Amino acid sequence: MDCNCVSDLLLTPPVPALWTPGEASRMGALFCGSRGIAFPDWAYKPESSPGSRQIQLWHFILELLQKEEYQSVISWQGEYGEFVIKDPDEVAKLWGLRKCKPHMNYDKLSRALRYYYNKRILHKTKGKRFTYKFNFSKVVLVNYPLLDMASSPFLLQNHFNGGSAAPDCSPLTPEALQSLFPRLPESGRGTSLFDRVATAPGPEGDKLRLDTFPFLSSAAPCYSKPPSLLGPYPRNPPFDYPWGFNPYLSGAFSLNNCPKLPPGSLYPSHFYPNPLQTNLGQLPHPFSSLLPPGEVAGGGERGAAGQTGVTNGTAGGQPRLCLPPYPGALSLGRTDIGNGGSVGERERRETNTPGTGLGLGLGLGLGLGLGLGGMGLGGGAGGRQSPSERRGGVKQDPESDSDLEITDLSDCSSDNEPDFSITKETRLSGRSQILVEGKKGGALPPLSSLPPPVSPHPLKSLVPLTPPPPSLPLSLSPSMALVERHRETETLKLIHS
DNA sequence: GCCGGAACGT
DNA sequence: ACGTTCCGGC
C-alpha cells in the first residue's frame, strides 16, 4: 500500500537558513535526499537504535504539541511536561496518517503510549483523562545523545547522575566543547556554528549560544529540581510554555520519516535548521527577555518565506512552545553525593552499560534509558527473543512497576540511568565545578562556597534548596564558556589565590 | 478510560 | 526496538 502518509501536518519548516548544505554536512548533518533538507544527525536517535529514522510516537506527540494548529487537539497543560490529548480520535487519526495505519485509533495509540511508561519517556497523569506527562530527561537524551559525551564529563554531573559519579566537574572550555560536539569545526572561522556563537560579542553572543545548544540550556538537563516539586510553575504567563523544545525535532522527524513523502511537499531547499535562530524567541522568560527585539522578531537574514503560518513561533504572537520550560533551570550548586549506593540495583542493571561510550559521561543527567538501557546498546541480547523474553528484559519483576510511577525528575535521576558509572570514565583533571558563565557576576563560586546539601537524602541532595534566580540560570551552555573564558580564567586565578 | 499481556509486523 | 492489533480485566 502506498498511502500518502505524510500529512503535511507537522511539517514544520525547519527554520531558514543559517546552515548551508556544506556547513551542515561538515557538521555531520543528514541530508534528506534530493530535497536538500539537512538535519544534524544527532537529531536522530543513536545509530545503535534500529529503525531510528522512523518517527516515533513521542516525537510525533511533541510535534503536535509544537504546532499551534493542533492546540485544540493536543496541548500542554497542567504540570511541567504534562499534556492533554483533547481530541484522542483526532490524534489517533493523525498518527495513523503518519504511520500509514488507517485503522489507528486512540486505543491503539494509547497502548503505544503505555509502552513508554516502562521506558520512562512518558507516564500517565493519574486521574486526568487523556493526560500524560513527558519525562524530558529521556526525551532530550534521545534527541541529543550529545555525541561523545563520554569524553566530556563535565556537564551537570551531579544533578542527575544518581549520585554515583564523581563530584568533579570540568570547566567548560572550548576544548571540552569540541569534544562534546566533535562535529563542529574546530576553527572554521566564521563558518561554523561554533564560531558564530563564539564570536558573538557580549550579551547577544550569549543569547545565540544559549540557543545554539538548546538542550543544554533548557529542558531536562537543566532543571535542578523535579518539575513537580518546583515551586509554583508560572502557569499564566503570556503563554503557557514559552519555549520551544527542539528546533530540529519537528523538521527532522517529520520530514525524514516518511520515505514516501512527495518531494514537492517539502520545504524549499534553502531551509535548513538553524540552531541559532530557531527558538530564540521561544526561550523561557529569563532567556527570551534577553533577546533584542530585532533578534526575537527574526530579523537578520531570515527569509520571510517558508514559515508556514507559524511565523517562526515568535514574531507577533506567542510562540507555541513545544517543551514546557523550567525557568529555574540548572543550578551548578553541585552537591557532593558521595553515595550512589542507594540507587536501585535494578536500575543499575538496566542502565549501566559499561563500554558504551554514548551514555557515559552524561553528566547532564540525561536519561540513558533510551540510549542505552532501553535500546540495549552493546547488544547483550543478541538474537531473537520471544516476546516474553523481551518484556522480561525491560521489566524484570512485576514490582518494578512502582518505579515507573515517575512523577518528577528526581525519580528519574535517582532510579535509573544516571547511575552508570561515570566516575571511572570521567577522569576530570582537577577542576571540579562547572564554570558559571553568562552571568554578570562572572564565575561560579567555588565549590567550597556552595551551600552544602541540607537534606541527607541522596536524592534530595540533588536538588538545590533554593530555586535558581530568575535570571539566566547557570547555564551549561557550552558556548558561554567560549565567550567568557577569559573571565573565567581571571576568576580562577582569584579563587586559587 | 486505562492497564498490560500476548502475538505479530516491520 | 517500536509499535500495531487484539483483548480480558479493572
Instruction: Report residue A153 as a C-alpha cell.
Output: 564529563
- Specify which of A375-379, A411-415, A485-489 reaches the highest per-range mean pLDDT: A485-489
| Rg of chain A on CA atoms, in Å | 21
- Read off the pLDDT of residues A80-112 as tens digits, 9 standing for 90 and up: 899 999 999 999 999 999 998 999 999 999 999
Angle, alpha carbons A461-A468-A230 (nearest 5°)? 65
Q: Cα separation of A472 and A282, whole Å?
A: 14
- Read off the pLDDT of residues A23-67 as tens digits, 9 standing for 90 and up: 333 333 333 333 222 333 333 343 333 334 478 899 899 999 989
Instruction: Report residue A379 as a C-alpha cell.
Output: 547488544
- Specify whether the CB–CB gap between A196 and A190 falls below 8 A: yes
Q: Cα separation of A173 and A185, whole Å?
A: 15
Instruction: Report residue A75 as a C-alpha cell.
Output: 496541548
Residue nearest to nucleotide C6 (CA to C1'): A108
- Read off the pLDDT of residues A265-322 as tens digits, 9 standing for 90 and up: 222 222 223 332 333 223 223 233 333 333 333 333 333 333 333 333 333 333 344 4
Instruction: Write down the pLDDT at residue A70.
Output: 94
Instruction: Report residue A102 as a C-alpha cell.
Output: 488507517
Residue A131, SS3 per DSSP = strand
Average pLDDT over residues A222-226: 29
- Read off the pLDDT of residues A160-176 as tens digits, 9 standing for 90 and up: 333 333 222 332 333 33
Residue A317, SS3 per DSSP = coil
Beta pairing partners, A133: A82, A123
Residue nearest to nucleotide C2 (CA to C1'): A56
- H-type alpha helices, A131-201: 136-143, 174-180, 193-199
Instruction: Write down the pLDDT at residue A400.
Output: 37
- Chain centroid to Cα A436, Å, comes to 20
Query: Is A131 (CB) below 7 Å from strand B?
Result: yes
Distance between the alpha carbon (CA) of A108 and the C1' atom of C5, Å: 7
Distance between the alpha carbon (CA) of A99 and the C1' atom of C3, Å: 10
Which positions of strand C lie within 7 Å of protein CB atoms? 1-7
Q: Cα separation of A387 and A391, whole Å?
A: 6
Query: Is A308 (CB) below 7 Å from strand B?
Result: no
- H-type alpha helices, A213-261: 214-217, 254-256
- Read off the pLDDT of residues A432-457 as tens digits, 9 standing for 90 and up: 333 333 333 332 323 333 333 333 33
pLDDT band of residue A143 (cuts 50, 70, 90) is low
Query: Is A201 (CB) below 7 Å from strand B?
Result: no
- Percent of chain A, pLDDT > 70? 17
Instruction: Report residue A295 as a C-alpha cell.
Output: 533578534
Q: Cα separation of A326 and A67, whole Å?
A: 20
**How many other CB atoms sit within 10 Å of the CB of residue A391?**
12
Instruction: Report residue A353 as a C-alpha cell.
Output: 552499560
Query: In the complex, which nucleotide's C1' lies nearest to the CA atom of residue A384?
Result: C1
Work out the mean pLDDT of chain A and round it to a whole number.
44
- pLDDT higher than 90, residue A138: no
Residue nearest to nucleotide B10 (CA to C1'): A51
- Specify whether the CB–CB gap between A210 and A475 falls below 8 A: yes
Distance between the alpha carbon (CA) of A482 and the C1' atom of B4, Å: 49
- Read off the pLDDT of residues A173-207 as tens digits, 9 standing for 90 and up: 333 333 333 332 233 333 322 233 333 333 333 33
Distance between the alpha carbon (CA) of A76 and the C1' atom of B8, Å: 34
- pLDDT higher than 90, residue A72: yes
Query: In the complex, which nucleotide's C1' lies nearest to the CA atom of residue A54?
Result: C2
Residue nearest to nucleotide B6 (CA to C1'): A387
Query: Is A117 (CB) below 7 Å from strand B?
Result: yes
Instruction: Write down the pLDDT at residue A494.
Output: 56
Q: Which of residues 33-52 of A touch strand B (CB under 7 A)?
A: 51
Residue nearest to nucleotide B8 (CA to C1'): A387
Which positions of strand B lie within 7 Å of protein CB atoms? 1-8, 10
Query: Is A101 (CB) below 7 Å from strand B?
Result: no
Instruction: Report residue A328 as a C-alpha cell.
Output: 529555574
Beta pairing, strands A37-40 & A29-32: antiparallel
Q: Which of A55, A40, A49, A50 is nearest to A5 (CA)?
A: A55
Q: Which of residues 370-409 of A touch strand B (CB under 7 A)?
A: 386-388, 391, 395, 398, 401, 404
Residue nearest to nucleotide B3 (CA to C1'): A114
List CB-based contacts (under 7 A) with strand C.
A 45, 49-51, 55-58, 95-96, 99, 101, 103-104, 107-109, 111-112, 115, 119, 370, 374-376, 381, 387, 390, 393
